[in-house]
A and B are shown apart, each in its own frame.
Chain A
């Protein structure tokens, strides 16, 4: 990653933290009743001062810790993140926890498995791993812990 790209990322991340700190301070000092925001006001001032300092360091190119997110990692991550978000925000409630989890686990396994995707044996291996893993999860949560998980279209 080039130095300018790294600096730009540092400035962006410091900027986002600064915006959060300003919002927290603003909300703490404008919301009522004041007594409920006594502690948030105290903390928000420290938060704001540190965020300004952090932003200034990033702006001056002094932020040395953390290399940011590189393009290869971002490309590798994107499909996994999409699958995780789809599962958590939609699929789990639509299809039911167990069916959605099985599909999600199998998809993540397929996305990141090093095995050749053209070989049938690898697909069978992934399917077997998924079935065994989900059977363990089902036994653990449904029978041992007796947790009622959301049911959707299926189970």
Chain B
């Protein structure tokens, strides 16, 4: 029950202010289509540089939780999911809003988000220390395989093409090697002065997640007009609460499905929401009502996508393997403060880790309170023209990238990486595995070199890296993740061939 000790730290004035600010800001950003939770967290990282580690993490954690929930506002009132995690919410949420039940849909979305979110964070609280202690037994060879596992799992699960997903991971690993080698001091892949110190992780995160979205908005040109939001009428909170309790089955399915999916690295909120929605429909006696404005659909989807948030941090905080792209950005936020996840985190930085986790618990409650009251404002902000968003995000990205090291080189790196990522995404490559490669590359390399030195004094590298129960288990996981992705790509290809053939007849 160590987490109870640090609750008071969350209520320190600056921490509380950041938690409230992060929650409100996250709700508004989350409601804005085109601004993903990952991008919002990436853009916030430069600001955390000037804060204490626990305060910085409180801000990032609040933004992560509330952007996922905030996406429900535009999904319900505009039928435009604020983030991929809210796609399932729009199916019934918008239909409810059209029927004049917008307020009820929003209440149900935020309340079930909070229930799912609290369950997810409790899972994080009880699983993380145990797994972190288990991680103490890991040596360099295991840590090397875990880093490789992080890249392959996200590379294969987050991408539509497993070859391109793995290639994205390789590009990230290569980018992580640019700069001076830590041990020999040798120059590696330095093509320009801007790369002398290697690629700054924050500039890279901003470039890889923000610039492609800016370019995507610009690529749609001047043709887009604002979408009208459905007005929200007053609705009593207690009746919405009773409605949520009456739909306990959907709430439980969403919470459990979201929590399990969150624990699997790389799967993410979109899958959590859609799977929970689908399962809830299968188990419901009112199957036919789904898609027509049925509260169960909103409850299942929203409890799942927020239940996913806490568990997605379990592999991150214990093994350095982020459970989602946003968790990968959070890892970047930890590393810039010199904090390494794993057993070290709970041993040497217990106050930082527990304050952060506790803040996520309190953040769920704040999210309901503010979410319900600022939904109308968030819906207005969600209608901000794309031209303003594109220009604003670009300037903020440039200022943020520059402010980390006061270097124009970082701005250039950010823009070049961002433009390259936009083009790569158009060809099926994915930013998440690339970022994972970039973040986990130094961890993989240092453990590989350390392991090689130990292996030199023992039975050789092959024995050291390829034998032992834990090594074999991790290698099995690496191979399984690749094999599974290969198999699912083949199945998808066959299905698409069949559809093309039947469509051609």
Contact = CB atoms under 8 A, between A and B. Distances in A.
B167 interface: yes
Given A76-B221, A141-B399, A147-B403, A92 B411 contact: yes
Interface residues of B, number: 64
Contacts of B225: 114
Main secondary structure of the interface of B (DSSP, over half): helix
A147 B219 contact: no
A131 interface: no
A3 B47 CA distance: 46
A49 to B, nearest CB: 9
B483 interface: no
Contact of A85 (B161, B174, B415): B415
Nearest to B144: A39
B218 A77 contact: yes
Contact of A111 (B159, B188, B385, B387): B387
Contacts, number: 182
B184 interface: yes
B177 A40 contact: yes
B47 A47 contact: no
Given A40-B174, A77-B218, A81-B419, A112 B402 contact: no
Nearest to B218: A80
A81 B215 contact: yes
Nearest to B493: A64
A65 B423 contact: no
25 contacts: A9-B427, A20-B171, A31-B188, A32-B186, A35-B183, A36-B183, A43-B177, A51-B167, A64-B496, A65-B164, A65-B427, A66-B425, A68-B426, A76-B218, A76-B219, A97-B399, A108-B390, A108-B394, A111-B387, A113-B387, A114-B224, A114-B385, A137-B395, A147-B402, A148-B406
Given A9-B427, A148-B406, A104 B395 contact: yes
Given A105-B392, A133-B392, A150-B408, A63 B387 contact: no
Given A36-B183, A112-B222, 14 more contacts: A14-B427, A36-B186, A39-B448, A46-B170, A63-B427, A65-B428, A76-B220, A81-B419, A101-B399, A108-B391, A111-B222, A133-B391, A145-B47, A149-B403
B199 interface: no
A54 B387 contact: no
B498 interface: no
A150 B219 CA distance: 30
A101 to B, nearest CB: 5
A139 to B, nearest CB: 12
B218 A33 contact: no
B75 interface: no
Interface of B: 47, 50, 159-161, 163-164, 166-167, 170-171, 173-174, 177, 181, 183-184, 186, 188-189, 215, 217-225, 385-388, 390-392, 394-396, 398-399, 402-403, 406, 408, 411-412, 415, 419, 423-429, 444-445, 448-449, 452, 493, 496
B423 A88 contact: no
Contacts of A135: none
8 closest A-B pairs by beta carbon, nearest first, are: A66-B428, A65-B428, A112-B387, A36-B186, A76-B221, A108-B391, A73-B219, A66-B427
A50 interface: yes
Nearest to A69: B426
A77 B218 CA distance: 6
Most buried by B among A43, A87, A101: A43
Contacts of A77: 215, 218-219
A104 B391 contact: yes
Nearest to B167: A50
Contact of B189 (A24, A65, A75): A24
Contacts of A92: 398, 408, 411
Given A50-B170, A64-B161, A113-B385, A38 B452 contact: yes
Most buried by A among B218, B224, B390, B412: B218
B386 A112 contact: yes
Interface string A79-100: 0110011011100110001000
